[in-house]
Amino acid sequence: MKRVEASTTPAGTTGLNADRDSGGRMAMIDIRRVEKRFSARDGTETTVLHDINLSIAPNEFVCIVGRSGCGKTTLLNILAGLDKASGGEVRIAGERVEGPGQGQGVVFQQHALFPWLTALENVAFGARSLPIGKPEKIERARELLQLVGLEASAGQYPREMSGGMQQRVAIARALALDPEILLMDEPFGALDELTRIEMQQELLRIWDARKKTVVFITHSISEALMLADRVVLLAPHPGRVARDIHVDLERPRSRTDRGFNVLYEQIWGGLST
């Protein structure tokens, strides 16, 4: 699948050359020498992430795979601007990440919808920081619910919805600011297998329609292979990049495809060593 490369280059950005990958195009997300350490109460320090370097191109779909405790979620929180790195830096379109709302939309592990708001209100909350009036926000939320196929459930509360529907609303909410980047932290981990496959197809459809850069965390190898252009393996203690594997499979992909299984074995091997 061929996709159009982003042609916008922010002028006057410092370190412009460093932000370009070998192909000479601007990286959407540039992660440089990122470290994360936590100090425990007894004064000992744990290194959760060590020397993470990744450059992610515009519209690229990257899955980060690793065992529990390898710092996947911490890395995502740093990309989201919700957590600060202890060292190194993250740049989005050349701009250093200082906090949330610099073009990142986040979908969390548990849907993290506000239980007191309806589906529509939850999505409209996503647009809260936009300088537009309330009717426009509602209108925008309605369009996004339509995009995820839930316009009929606009008035329902999260508790009245199934797990799959909840995650759809969460995706719509994350898209409310029309972010360049979608950060997803094991969004389908709690769903049953069938719903999960449906949601993967749904996500690919949305990604195709809206052209986002996606960083998707999962510990399912087959999920990563169904979705990603690129699979990054994180190794634990301390969390570091172990492998960076390009997935050159045609979409739509099939789990029974030979190439799929070759890559599956390769990733499985990378994870078990």
Partner 1 sequence: MRQQLVQIFVVLIVVAAILLGLELGVRAGYLKAYEFPPASRIAEGFVELATVGFPTGVTIWSHILITVERILKGYTAAILLAVPFGLLIGAVPVLDKMTAPLIVFFRSVATLSLLPLVIVWFGAGELTKVILIGYGCFWVMLSNVVASVKYVDPVLIRAARSFKANGWALYREVVLPAALPRMFAGARIALGVGFMVIVGAEMIGTIQGLGALIMEARSFYRSEITVIGMLVIGILGFAISTGLATLEHMLLPWGRSLDRVQR
Where are the alpha helices (H) located in the chain, listed in sequence order?
72-80, 119-126, 134-147, 163-174, 193-210, 221-227, 258-272
Q: Which stretch binds partner 1 (CB under 8 A): 14-22, 85-93, 94-102, 191-199?
A: 94-102
174-203: contacts with partner 1 (CB under 8 A)? 174, 176-177
Confirm or reject binding of residue 92 to partner 1 (CB under 8 A). no
109 near partner 1 (CB under 8 A) = yes
Cα–Cα dist 184/171, whole Å: 9
Q: Is 105 among the residues that bind partner 1 (CB under 8 A)?
A: yes
Point out which span in 62-70, 74-82, 209-217, 221-229 binds partner 1 (CB under 8 A).
74-82
Question: What is the CA angle 106-205-123, rounded to 5?
Answer: 40
CA separation, residue 219 to residues 43, 107, 245 (Å): 31, 16, 15
Residue 67 CB neighbour total at 10 angstroms: 15
Binding segment toward partner 1, per CB under 8 A, in 12-20, 115-123, 194-202, 219-227: 115-123
**Which residue among 9, 129, 201, 261 contacts partner 1 (CB under 8 A)?**
129
Question: DSSP state, 111?
Answer: -
Q: How far is the CB of 78 from partner 1 (least distance, A)?
A: 13
DSSP class of 28: S
Nearer to partner 1, 150 or 225 (CB): 150
Taking alpha carbons only, the member of 191, 177, 186 closest to residue 215 is: 186
Closest of 114, 95, 102, 134 to residue 12, by C-alpha: 95
234 pairs with which residues across the strands? 66, 241
Smallest separation (angstroms) from partner 1 to the CB of 218: 18
Residue 156 CB, shortest distance to partner 1, in Å, is 10
Subset of 10-69 contacting partner 1 (CB under 8 A): none
- 153 in contact with partner 1 (CB under 8 A): no
Contact with partner 1 (CB under 8 A): which of 29, 80, 145, 228? Answer: 80
Q: For residue 114, state whether it binds partner 1 (rule: CB under 8 A).
A: yes
Cβ neighbour number for residue 86 with a 10 Å cutoff: 15
Residues at the contact surface with partner 1, assessed by CB under 8 A: 77, 80-82, 99-101, 104-106, 108-110, 112-117, 125-126, 128-129, 157-160, 173-174, 176-177
